Amino acid sequence: MDLNRYLFIEFLNRKNIDIGVAWWIDFVITSCLLILTSFLLAAVSRMISRNILIKLSRQTKTHLDDYLLSSNFPKYISRIIPYIFLFSVIPFWIVDSPTTTSNLTLLLNVYGVIVSIWIFRSILQTLRAYLITLESFKDKPIDSYVQVFMLLIWIIGIIVIFSIISGKEIGYFLTAMGALSAVLLLIFKDTILGFVASIQIAANDLVRIGDWVTMEKYGADGDVIEINLSTIKIQNFDKTITTIPSYNLISDSFKNWRGMAESAGRRIKRSILISTPSIRFMESGELEKLSQIERISTYLSERTSEIDQDNQASKSDKSIAINGRNLTNLGVYRQYVENYLKTHPKISDQLTVMCRQLPANQFGATPLEVYAFSVEKDWVMYEHLTADIFDHLLSALRYFELESYEVGSPKIRD
């Protein structure tokens, strides 16, 4: 081949073409033929590797090979063949030009590093696409890990490329990077903070994809849809997207509702405002009427008997209701509310169920708070259940001669 190349250059020279120009004509023609051949090799190798992966995907149950196809792995892996081909024909490519040979070798080596980076990138994208389909990895910050590895691969690749171009050892650049560490820390501050935050978030399991997160400082209240190296994306309930730097989840406080989602129930903590003037002692006739209510009939029977015995023992003058012990309409209603909650099929019996009286406020209202946990944790179902419960409790007030507080409502007089 070398002999033919020399003959071609001599032939051009005999045609009164300068030897230098003849050399460049020979180089250009040869380069075009070799590059065309390398493109053909790339196309053929890509087709072969793609067909192999397609056959494997049909024969295997795993979807990993399918994701290799979608991440252009055959395209990138096929570029190794032209690289090997061009590298192997360098001695026959260039005639009597050590400088050109050296430069061409350098360019091919740089191309080889870039192809290697593309292949690793394709593999990482494949692993990401495959892992997020697995149940055990659906809520893990896979994007953060992939971006960390990609960052490391690019850093290593760039160092190797500089080493190839400059002809210096890789250790030289590592030493230089150490000397420039302060500058690098300043330039890549956000990236480094995001990297550290991603590790802490993953190690401490602070946030997962799908978690309901509230961060009032940034107006975020919704589900985490993406966790990557630098940011966390939260889709708010109004369908807007809030992007928060990863490091801010470490430096600032936020609320993660995952504990509620994984618990036996979602908390109901809501009050009914009772008009204080409507609260009074119950008379025996009223108690007999209320004893017909199934949820408190047993309670009234036991409680009335206990109070009567105590009043007889203390010889209380019951001609005045305030003497001795008495039942109040609010106390009986409070017990009714608690019994109602404990027998409700949608209220968790594994967690606290309580109806408590809060301090009266300055407007003459006595709050009666329901504290219980709904087994319905879905937002819509939870709100419907809560509304049904309070519809019932508000409707039941009149049976106990109680009134809900309203601003400007007239006071009840004896």
Higher pLDDT, 88 or 158: 158
Shared-domain flag, residues 29 and 154: yes
Could you tell me if 179 and 226 lie in one domain? no
In a domain, 411, yes or no: no
Query: 23-27, 33-37, 124-128 — which is least confidently predicted?
Result: 23-27
Phi, psi of 136 (to 5 degrees): -75, -15
Q: Indicate whether 2 pLDDT > 60.
A: no
The two most distant CA atoms of the chain are separated, in Å, by 141
CA dist 385 and 346 (Å) reads 8
Question: Quick one: 83 and 26 in the same domain?
Answer: yes
Q: Strand 365-374 to strand 354-357: parallel, antiparallel, or no bridges (unpaired)?
A: antiparallel
Count of CB atoms situated within 10 Å of the CB of 54: 14
Question: What pLDDT band is residue 395 in, cutting at 50, 70 and 90?
Answer: very high
Please report the pLDDT score of residue 1 as a whole number: 44
| Inter-CA distances, 161 with 107, 109, 112, 114, 185, Å | 10, 8, 10, 9, 22
User: What pLDDT shows up at residue 16?
Assistant: 58
Q: Which of 67-81, 164-178, 380-394 has the lowest mean pLDDT?
A: 164-178
Q: How far is Cα 26 from Cα 90, in angstroms, rounded to an integer?
A: 14
Instruction: Indicate the residue among 201, 224, 254 that finishes a domain.
Output: 201
Check residues 210 and 343 and name the one with the higher pLDDT: 343
Predicted local confidence at residue 259, as pLDDT: 83
The last residue of a domain, from among 150, 166, 201: 201
- For residue 23, the model assigns a pLDDT of 58
Spatial neighbors of 79 by CB under 8 A, at least 6 apart, are: 42, 115, 118
In this structure, the answer to whether residues 18 and 157 fall within a common structural domain is: yes
Residues in the chain: 414
pLDDT at 30 over 50: yes
Query: Where is mean pLDDT largest: 71-80, 104-113, 298-307?
Result: 298-307
Q: What is the pLDDT of residue 8?
A: 52
Q: Which residue has the higher pLDDT, 283 or 171?
A: 283
Q: Does residue 408 belong to any structural domain of this protein? A: no
**DSSP H stretches of helix in 133-283:** 142-166, 170-179, 181-187, 189-204, 248-251, 258-262
356: Cβ contacts below 8 Å, ≥ 6 apart: 334, 368, 369, 371
Tell whether 90 and 193 lie within a shared domain.
yes
State which of 26-40, 90-104, 112-126 shows the largest mean pLDDT: 112-126
Q: Mark 338-375 as b/e (b = at least 16 C-beta within 10 Å).
A: bbbbeebebbbeebebebeeeeeeeeebbbbebbbbbb
Domain count, the chain: 3
Structural domain includes residue 410: no
Domain assignment of residue 306, given as a range:
266-400
Q: Please indicate whether residue 2 or residue 37 has the higher confidence score (pLDDT).
A: 37
Residue 158 has pLDDT above 80, yes or no: yes
For residue 413, being part of any structural domain is answered with no
pLDDT tens digit string along 175-191? 766 666 666 667 667 77
Which of the four pLDDT bands, split at 50, 70 and 90, describes residue 10?
A: low
Question: Do residues 22 and 160 share a domain?
Answer: yes
pLDDT classification of 134: cutoffs 50, 70, 90: confident
The confidence score (pLDDT) of residue 13 equals 55
Domain final position from 262, 283, 306: 262
Mention every residue, 6+ apart, whose C-beta is less than 8 A from residue 392.
340
- Please tell me the number of Cα atoms within 13 Å of 342 on its side-chain side: 12
For residues 290 and 167, the model is more confident at: 290
Instruction: Give 71's pLDDT tier (boundaries 50, 70, 90).
Output: confident
What is the DSSP annotation of 160-187?
A: HHHHHHH---HHHHHHHHHHTHHHHHHH
Question: pTM of the full predicted structure?
Answer: 0.57
- Would 376 be classed as within a structural domain? yes
Q: Band of the pLDDT at 412, cuts 50, 70, 90? A: very low
What is the distance between the alpha carbons of residues 267 and 270, in angstroms, rounded to a whole number? 10
What integer is the mean pLDDT of 269-287? Answer: 89
pLDDT at residue 325 tops 80:
yes
Separation of alpha carbons 396 and 389, rounded Å: 11
pLDDT of residue 110: 87
Using DSSP, how many helices (H) and how many strands (E) does the chain show?
17, 8
CB 363 within 8 A of CB 382: no
Give the Cα separation of 80 and 89 in Å (integer): 14
Measure Cα distances from 111 to 9, 82, 160, 293 in Å: 30, 11, 11, 86
Of the candidates 281, 403, 282, 322, which has an alpha carbon nearest to the alpha carbon of residue 412?
403
pLDDT, tens digit (0-9, with 9 covering 90-100), for 209-252 = 888 899 988 889 999 988 877 788 999 988 999 998 888 888 88
Please indicate, yes or no, whether residues 314 and 190 belong to a single structural domain of this protein: no
Looking at the structure, tell me whether residues 257 and 270 fall in a common domain.
no
> How far apart are the C-alpha atoms of 266 and 378, rounded to whole Å?
9
CA torsion, ordered 13, 17, 21, 24, to nearest 10 deg:
-60
Report the distance separating Cα 134 and Cα 227, nearest Å. Answer: 17
Res. 7: pLDDT tops 50: no
> Which span out of 56-60, 114-118, 372-376 was modeled with the highest average pLDDT?
372-376
Structure confidence by residue, pLDDT tens digits, 294-320 = 999 999 999 989 888 888 888 887 778
User: Average of pLDDT values for 342-348?
Assistant: 94
312 occurs within a structural domain = yes
Report the distance separating Cα 311 and Cα 323, nearest Å.
Answer: 9
Indicate if 36 and 154 belong to the same structural domain. yes
> Is 98 part of any domain?
yes
- Contacts of residue 199, Cβ cutoff 8 Å, sequence gap at least 6: none
Average pLDDT of the chain is 81
**Residue 3 confidence class, pLDDT cut points 50, 70, 90:** very low
In-domain check, residue 7: yes
